[in-house]
Amino acid sequence: MSLLKNYFTRTIFFIIGDAAAIFLASLMSYLIINSVSDFAYSYPTISSIAIILLSITFLGSFKMYQVSWRFTSLRELMMIVNSLAVSSLIYLVFLFSTSALTIFHVSYIALVFIQSILYIGAFRISKRMSKEVLKKPYLKKRAIIFGAGNAGDQIMRDITRHRHWNLNIIAIFDDSEKLHGLSMHGVLIKGDRRQMYQFLRYNDVDELIIAIPSLSKPELKTVIKKVKSITPNLEVKVLPSFHLLSDDPVGVKNIREISIDDILGREPAKIDLELIRSSLMGKTVLITGAGGSIGREIVRQCASLDAKKLIALDIDETEVFYIQKEFQNSNKCVVPCVANILDEERIDMLFENEKPDVIFHAAAYKHVPMMEVFPDEAVKVNVEGTRVLASLACKHEVDKFVLISTDKAVNPTNIMGATKRIAEEICLSYNELCLTKFISVRFGNVLGSRGSVVPIFIDQIRNGGPITITHPEVKRYFMTIPESVLLVMQAGEMGSGGEVFVLDMGEPVKILDMAKQLIQLHGLKPDKDIDIEFIGLRPGEKMYEELLQAEEGVLSTNHKLIHKAICGKKLSNNELDIMVAKLKREMKYNNHEAIRKIIKQLVPTYTFNGEINGLSSKEGALNQLADQE
């Protein structure tokens, strides 16, 4: 009822404002004509009233009384022009049909039309001018909250307690009918999400805070799509569901901009944090590739789950510095380490000094097209690096070794996937040589990681497009970084040695659909504001990724999202050493074709097409990669 009353009051306000603007235009037009004419005309009262009534009618039919005052734009100004043009033409036709049309009427109506555009346009854009051009720094954002539960209550308390958040909450909405009509910290709970959509149509709102961490992704996606269709420029912020992993009080600091991982993929996995905590508590954990997206998240999660000491190892000193800076004021023992996993002597000394109990091996080359150009580097890091770490883990009797593998290791069509499959084979072979439990975990792409399509798409949107996609039908599995890491850690805890675990990635996502959703999240329209171009598959890329080899089956585990692949080692440790030695020999001669053939012997399901798309030189291949990026 209050929304209906608000809409009625707002409409009357705009009708009066528009009528006043048109009357002023008619008065000024009459004065202008009389000042330049040799004749003294009387004020055309009937014509003035007729134009006002016609203009108000057509402004209403063009839905100008449903447009938010704050968000008036060029589109709305064009609607004003169209409305006034139609009303003026209709009145001129009426005068002509009644033989009452004179030169005075033509001049008068033309001047009224031009000045009405100026006056109504100025009236309509005045709110936006005051907000954006004449805006003062102390003006607060007008915000609404969706969610009147515990999270919403805590956010309201935080806003009330700390004025620096610069938020003025003007309404709260919740789907629970028993809360409607009540108030929270002096702000009325006006209704459910349908009332919220109506409120957004007829009120100036700067920001929507979705304070329901348990809201499902399909529901969240529906809410965002609806509010963006009403007010595309509305800031939408959410309280992420992964905040529930923490015991800290909820506050404004926890809300963040909506992102693609909030609406893409399945519901967050249920993780047994206590089980993982018990497996890490009091232990020294080594994370290789700690500067990468997955490695850094492993460091964070291990720190929050009470590991005694964390050794953050990466070859990139800048990333190691950022990790050290992140934890410098905490009570967590995070030891930075800049080292190359291929430096066996250096890593041996590290193992001797730090005595790690658990290793998460995330260091790897992962960029598929780039590794097609530099297969020798992929072999060095992904194969030889894993062998170095595995042999030293055995030597120093590390309790557990968890390899971060990939879905691209399945029926690989690229060097990156094939070398990760060999890394899995190395872990299987070393598992029988010592007490160390070797475990591999395969999963797909993670949202927001370095090299992921999401940051690339966002940069392309910010630059005005176009978004470039390899193929309209290409699909990939996606998972959020925290979810994938926690599932890896739980799989590592479950493993007793010699397993290859496969994470259930849900349904594959069309990259084209994801690109369109990203464009819409930025308040834009696909193929209108931002173009989408298809550039063709890059070297080594598949249309679809697989998580299990065709000859493999799968066993269920006590976690519905973690499966165990039925696969045993195919080569003994000695046979692997001989093949890896052959790879190293060919690497010295930079013989990429021979490297691929040896990899084919190690991974029979690996397929490749000789030189990259017929390019005979590294320079040519690099040029193609640069063009396709």
pLDDT (tens digit per residue) in 99-121: 888 888 888 889 989 988 888 88
The mean pLDDT value for 541-560 works out to 66
Q: Is the domain of 235 the same as that of 291? A: no
Residue 92 lies in a domain: yes
Q: Is the domain of 145 the same as that of 178? A: yes
Band (241; pLDDT cuts 50, 70, 90): low
Q: Is the domain of 300 the same as that of 409? A: yes
Q: What is the pLDDT of residue 349?
A: 96
Flag whether pLDDT at 255 surpasses 60. Answer: yes
Among 258, 286, 308, where does a domain finish?
258
Residue 578 lies in a domain: yes
The mean pLDDT value for 257-280 works out to 72
d(CA 367, CA 40): 82
Closest CA to 538 of 367, 369, 366: 369
Sheet of 554-556, strands arranged across: 334-338, 309-314, 284-288, 358-361, 400-404, 437-442, 499-503, 562-565, 554-556
Q: Is the domain of 253 the same as that of 367? A: no
The mean pLDDT value for 242-264 works out to 58
Cβ–Cβ under 8 Å, residues 337 and 312 = yes
Residue 148's domain comprises: 141-258
Residue 560 lies in a domain: yes
Residue 89 lies in a domain: yes
Catalytic residue among 190, 309, 366, 408: 408
Among 133, 159, 189, where does a domain finish?
133
Closest CA to 480 of 454, 447, 520, 527: 447
Q: What is the pLDDT of residue 162?
A: 67
Residue 592 lies in a domain: yes
Q: Is the domain of 227 the same as that of 197? A: yes
Q: List phi, psi (to 5°) of 439.
A: -135, 135
Is 408 catalytic? The answer is yes
Flag whether pLDDT at 580 surpasses 60. Answer: yes
Residue 527 lies in a domain: no
Q: Is the domain of 70 the same as that of 91? A: yes
Band (615; pLDDT cuts 50, 70, 90): very low
Could you give the 3-state DSSP secondary structure of residue 625? helix
Q: Is the domain of 391 the same as that of 495? A: yes
Q: What is the pLDDT of residue 266?
A: 57
> Mean of the per-residue pLDDT values for the chain?
81
Tell me, what CATH number does 377's domain have?
3.40.50.720
Flag whether pLDDT at 11 surpasses 60. Answer: yes
The mean pLDDT value for 179-187 works out to 87
Better-predicted residue by pLDDT, 327 or 537 = 327
Tell me if the pTM is above 0.75: no
Residue 344 lies in a domain: yes
Domain count, the chain: 3
d(CA 19, CA 79): 16
Q: Is the domain of 189 the same as that of 329? A: no
Q: What is the pLDDT of residue 404?
A: 94
**pLDDT-wise least confident of 35-39, 216-220, 304-308, 369-373:** 35-39
Q: How many CB atoms lie within 10 A of CB 570?
A: 13
Q: What is the pLDDT of residue 552?
A: 64
Q: What is the pLDDT of residue 335?
A: 94
Share of the chain above pLDDT 70, in %: 82
Tokens encoding 4: 């209906």
The label of the residue with tokens 């004509």 reads 33
d(CA 485, CA 506): 16
